[in-house]
Amino acid sequence: MDNVRSIDRLWSVEDVSAYLGVPVKTLYQWKWRGQGPPVRKIGRHLRYDPATVRAWATEAA
């Protein structure tokens, strides 16, 4: 397994909340309304790609 690259970890709702400085509840509302950064549902959990969140935050500013 020496050839395996490190896999970037997807961000949780709490990670994105801390990065954007918005409450977790806001992220759930944005998802429900189809707003905010793109999000994926993996099982019961919401996960965000860090690069996509950064790009979204730059565009939204």
Where do the structural domains in the chain lie, given as residue ranges?
13-60
Report field, pTM of the whole predicted structure over 0.75:
yes
Per-residue pLDDT tens digits for 1-59: 444 455 679 999 999 999 999 999 999 999 999 999 999 999 999 999 999 999 999 99
pLDDT at 1: 46
Query: What secondary structure, in 3-state letters, does the chain show?
Result: CCCCCCCCCCECHHHHHHHHCCCHHHHHHHHHHCCCCCCEEECCEEEECHHHHHHHHHHHC
